[in-house]
Structures are given as structure tokens and as C-alpha cells.
Amino acid sequence: MKYVFFENKENASEFCKRKIISADRQIVLAGAGINLERYKMQPYPKHTRIHFLYLGRIMKEKGIDELFYAVRHLKKENENFVLDLVGFFEDEYKEQVKELEKQVETLSRKEIIKKSQSDPRPFYIEADCVVLPSYHEGMSNVILEAAATGRPVITSNIPGCRESVENGKSGLLVEVKNKEMLYDAMKEMLHCSREEREQMGQAGREKMEREFRKEVVVEKTVQSLREDEKRDF
């Protein structure tokens, strides 16, 4: 029997429901897992202003419109924070980012890069909270990497994101495409104490150690393949 690997239960269930892949041929993994030696727990920063980090492609499907809405409205209320945008985007998004930089003084476009060409770890280290309001994900590496570094996250309550977050404990989950809920979550994070945010980051790291260590994911994959080979003989 040949298996099909999925990164989250919802995707696997959908394939089963549509009778594409039967349940006995499905294996759900925690994405590719996270290398906890590469992404080490880091001391929580001591900024005078909270730094929200968005790391990824700057595009609609990543929830960038909702993020920009939340940032604008928080700025109108004179909330004290910085948004660090780090990611690669097509030419069509450049003007939008430039316009936001004019409107929102707290936006810092530190470096616009292709992820494959840069090490993201320094950005996680400088972040107080990582924000990823995606519309859909397989299993978000950004969330895994941020949590492993010890940073709380705000992300969408969707397959591929919610599996790696304990809502209210290691981060905050928001309804997908809900700009008001994202605004509320960012405001809540702003009004948490530094100690509370640090504790959330610690909870995220512990979850990564329990459930998402790369060694565990690799071992599960190898074990499944071995069982498959035995059935073939």
C-alpha cells in the first residue's frame, strides 16, 4: 500500500471526503518539522516600542490587506509599535508598501528579500510578536520558526496555522479575512506586559519541543515507509 502525506488533518479529511485518498492511505505529519538546533530559544527583546514582524510574501493571500488595515487603525489610536516587513513581493505591491510607509510612520521596511537568499533568524530575534494572517497554509514554517525562537504569534485560525498555536497561551488565533479581529488581537498583544508576551513565547517553544521537532517528524515518516514496504512483501 502506498501512502500520501498531508501537513494537516483538515486537508487529509477533505481528500477522504471527496474519495480521492482513503483514510487508511493517509499519514498526517507536522509539516517538515522544525530544527530546534538551528532555531534556538532566544532571550526576549527589551524594546521601548513593540516590534511586530511580518515575514513572507507581501500578497493578498497572506492577509496583507487585513494587516495594513489593523496597522493604520492602531496608528490612529497612537499605539506605540513598529511593524517590520520582511519579504519578497512582485512589482505590483511596491507602490502599496511605499504608500503605507508614507501613511504609517511606524512601518519599517528593513529589508525586502527572497527568503531563500537570507537567514530569517535575526528578524525573529528582534521581534516581540510575529503576525501571519494568511488565508491558507499547508503548515506554516514562519509560525514554527517564530515559536521555536520563543516569540508569540498572531495568526489565522486555519489548517496549517492553528495546529502550532495554543490560543491564548502561545499566541492568538483570529478568524481568517477578519480585519477587525486582527486589529483587536494586535491591540491585545500591545497591552500585554512584556512578561506576559515572554511567557507566551516560552509556551510556544515548549509546544515545538513536544510536537514539532524535526527528528520526530522524520522518524514518523521513516516508520510509515517501512510499514509500507513490509506490506508489499
| Domain match, 97 and 208 both | yes
The strand pair at 153-156 and 129-132 is best described as parallel
| Domain match, 62 and 120 both | yes
DSSP states of 157-214 as a string? Answer: SSTTTGGG--BTTTEEEE-TT-HHHHHHHHHHHHTS-HHHHHHHHHHHHHHIIIIIBH
CB atoms within 10 A of CB 202: 17
- Would residue 64 count as lying in a domain? yes
| Domain match, 89 and 201 both | yes
Sign of CA dihedral 87, 88, 89, 94: positive
| Domain match, 138 and 192 both | yes
| Domain match, 11 and 110 both | no
| Domain match, 24 and 74 both | no
**Residues of the chain predicted below pLDDT 70:** 1-32, 89-93, 100-117, 220-233
Q: Which domain holds residue 109?
A: 50-212
- Which pLDDT score is estimated for 15? 54
CATH of the domain at 164: 3.40.50.2000
pLDDT one-digit tens code per residue, 128-185? 999 999 999 888 899 999 999 999 999 999 988 999 999 999 999 999 999 999 999 9
Tell me, yes or no, if the pTM score tops 0.75.
yes
